[in-house]
Structure 1
Amino acid sequence: MPLKFRSLIAPLALATSLASCHGPKSDTLPPLSKQAMAAVSEKPGAPREELARAVDALFTAKDVGETRAVVVMENGRIVAERYAPGYTRDTRLVSWSMAKTITSVMIGMLVADGRLSLDQPAPIPRWQRPGDPRGAITLRYLLQMRSGLQHTEAGPIPYESSEVRMLFLDGRDNMAQWAEEQPLETVPGSEFKYSTNTTVILSDIAARVLTNNSNDPETRRRAVYDYLKARLFDPLGMTSVVPEFDRSGTLIGGSLMHATARDFARFGELLRNKGSYRGAQIVPRSWVVAMTTPSPKSPQYGLQTWLNNPVKPGADDALFPKLAPHSLFGMVGHMGQYVLVSPRQGLTMVRLGHSDEKQRAALKPLMADVIDLYPER
């Protein structure tokens, strides 16, 4: 598809044109290092040198922060893979908010098992007391970040923001209880507000369902871990995943899972294939469709999954709708963690590292350059 901006591809096209008229391509572009070329397979499904150059830019551009790992998969095979010094394909890296999408898949499996219902009141006992307006919060509202609960994800004073208080301060020992005690600030379902605390509530719901409302931390921890391992991680071969739990045994499903770049790519491939892996339907196809369908209150958010749709003028796009197909979707984590999935291109791309807000603005066009090398099918 024609794209409005290209940070690498347009210069490459110009360089190719100049090379055909005036001499070899090496006259106009600096030679690639052996490391850059070695990171790309012999037949990557795209121009090999251009792909190597686009991946190299993610590691060498001065304004994008620190890239630690990149994996590109095309139709199920790794076609590019590169790591910064000190990191390897066996290094576990933190998910940050990419964990939210894994939590959504866990909830989807419990819905498919008949143990949860999307449009019934969320099974939080304190919300079910007579007269509590939070009883109107459904599982769907939680998944779409429109619970209506009072929340500040990232305020001007970090230690006063809701997710910092939950993760590291007064809520850290029982994160779900802290999140569930918050009052409403808007009518449930009426407004999108991104909230890490909301995903911890989803994790608590999973633990309640899997343990028949046990409050024993080890029972909760073991039940959720065993379910994820048996139903998701083991079938996909995601052997590196280490999820974190708080002291009460609640999965910190909004921000803290650790895995290798390859295992994050395996999860992205599961979503690209609509929940199927090697002929087995691990997650219902209809759930992945729901995950990637825009919420009524946010065109760029589904069920704990970011979508490549534009938002209102002046607002920040989580992905890059001007630079890649709108069918692309992804997992996005704090400080520049990405799993990007483009079904129409047969593509899954992982980028893990450390980039602040300004650096992420420069990083996204470079990731789009990699994706743009692959045609839509």
Structure 2
Amino acid sequence: MPDFSDAIRYAQGHEVPWPRDPAAEPAKWGVHHEDPPPYNRLRGPVHARGGVSGVIRVGAEEVASWGEPDRADLTFSVAKTYLALLAGVAQGRGLLDPNERISSRLPGIGFDDPHNREITWAHMLEQTSEWHGSCLGMPDQVEHNRRVAHDPKPPQGRKGEARALQRPGSYWEYNDVRINQLSLALLHLYRQPLPEVFGQSVLQPLGGGRDFRWVGYDDAWVDIGGLGMQSVPGGTHWGAGVSISARDQARIGQLLLDGGIHAGQQLVPAAWVERMQQPCAIAPFYGWLTWLNRQGGMFADASRESWFMVGAGGHYVWMDPKHRAVVVVRWIDPAHSPGFVTRVARVLAGR
């Protein structure tokens, strides 16, 4: 049995410096404070968190866990990858072609003007859409010039400062407003609340879903077929988002490691899962709402086949095909995540 105790001690000794209760010190919790006013506020519910937790699976078996692995905590932008999985399920049902223009299938939801009508599902999934507009009251400009830890591009200006838009597919930018627009499009595509689809199509078949929640902003309700449905965000930037346990995150990571198949059932098309791992032509560190380690830019000591779901607040789900491993760590200080990855990688490599 591999011994990950050193890595676990390291993780637990380097908790993210956010208060465990968002209400205790609001100014030290979350990422919305960096936004220009009036958008630097929460728009949906948040809740108290646990401490550093995690799960490690090797060869589809759980070999280590720590903290509270069954506690459902907010997971921030790990939820982006869940949107990619929902798009994959839709593709498997014949509901979308990743290379088609979204406007051709879903007119009237924000993809109709001359600039936006060129946008495909693939553009949205790889974050090169350059979608322009306002989604549920939030303009895309709020996220212009955003910097995230694993983006090697130098700053182009101040966050929220307008920049010239490029043609869809020609510029990569991490932009949560556009991700929310993708989620809205998927809601219109399914005509069913996305948390229900995700539970029925992914989590429940995996044996997970206990205490899972995926909620939207307080005012993010839309009419679909005469029914009010809440559009959910692909993160917790402005509150709301996915609350899920580390064990369920590991189950989802295992599904991806296994090419979308579980217990003989193809939950997500294998070709879609493979495509999620392929580098974006203009941002080779990124796939379809996943982070890649092809050149070691994410973590130098992780295998080059490794790919990741990443969320603010120190959330990482690491899929390592080389070692048939899935590693989940939550609420670790991101500045110390390389130290944790290095310690786990040494054990996986037998060093």
Q: TM-score range by the shorter chain?
A: 0.7 to 0.9
Specify which of 180, 190, 193 is matched with residue 210 of structure 1: 190
Q: What are the within-5 Å matches in structure 2 for residues 1-377 of structure 1?
A: 43=1, 46=2, 48=3, 51-61=4-14, 65=17, 68-83=52-67, 88-123=68-103, 124-126=106-108, 127=110, 129=112, 132-149=114-131, 162=142, 185-211=165-191, 220-221=192-193, 224-240=194-210, 241-246=212-217, 247-248=220-221, 249-255=230-236, 256-310=241-295, 317=297, 319-320=298-299, 322-353=300-331, 355=333, 360-375=334-349
2:331 partner letter: G
Q: Distance in 2 between matches of 1:76 and 1:284?
A: 19
The structure whose residues are more often helix, as a share, is 1
Q: Distance in 1 between matches of 2:96 and 2:180?
A: 16
- CA deviations on 1:99-146 (whole Å, 9 max, x unpaired) are 0001100011101111111111113534554x6221111110010000
Q: Distance in 1 between matches of 2:332 and 2:320?
A: 23
Aligned residues: 278
Relative to the length of structure 1, the TM-score reads: 0.68
On the 8 A contact 2:302/2:341 being kept in 1, the answer is no
RMSD: 2.6
% same residue: 24
How far did residue 302 of structure 1 move?
Answer: 0.4
Matching residue of 1:25: none
Q: Distance in 1 between matches of 2:100 and 2:166?
A: 19
Q: 1:163 to 1:354 in 2, by over 3 A?
A: farther
Q: Distance in 2 between matches of 1:242 and 1:284?
A: 24
How far did residue 371 of structure 1 move?
Answer: 2.4
SS in 2 for 1:293: coil
Matching residue of 2:158: none
Q: Distance in 2 between matches of 1:231 and 1:184?
A: 39
Matching residue of 2:45: none
How far did residue 160 of structure 1 move?
Answer: 11
Q: 5+ residue gaps in structure 1?
A: 1-42, 152-158, 165-181, 212-219, 312-316
SS in 2 for 1:262: helix
- CA deviations on 1:180-206 (whole Å, 9 max, x unpaired) are xx9971111001111122221221111
1:234 partner letter: Q
Q: 1:281 to 1:58 in 2, by over 3 A?
A: same
On the 8 A contact 2:123/2:129 being kept in 1, the answer is yes
Relative to the length of structure 2, the TM-score reads: 0.73
Q: 1:102 to 1:250 in 2, by over 3 A?
A: same
- Greater Rg over alpha carbons, structure: 1
How far did residue 150 of structure 1 move?
Answer: 5.2
- CA deviations on 1:225-256 (whole Å, 9 max, x unpaired) are 32222111110112232111233111212441
SS in 2 for 1:193: coil
Q: Distance in 1 between matches of 2:202 and 2:140?
A: 36
Q: Distance in 2 between matches of 1:225 and 1:192?
A: 28
SS in 2 for 1:350: strand
Name the stretch that deviates more: 365-374 or 188-197: 365-374
1:251 partner letter: V
- CA deviations on 1:233-286 (whole Å, 9 max, x unpaired) are 110112232111233111212441111110111111111111111221111110
Q: Distance in 1 between matches of 2:251 and 2:336?
A: 26
SS in 1 for 2:288: coil
Q: Distance in 1 between matches of 2:190 and 2:130?
A: 26
Q: Distance in 2 between matches of 1:53 and 1:375?
A: 15
Q: Distance in 2 between matches of 1:372 and 1:199?
A: 35
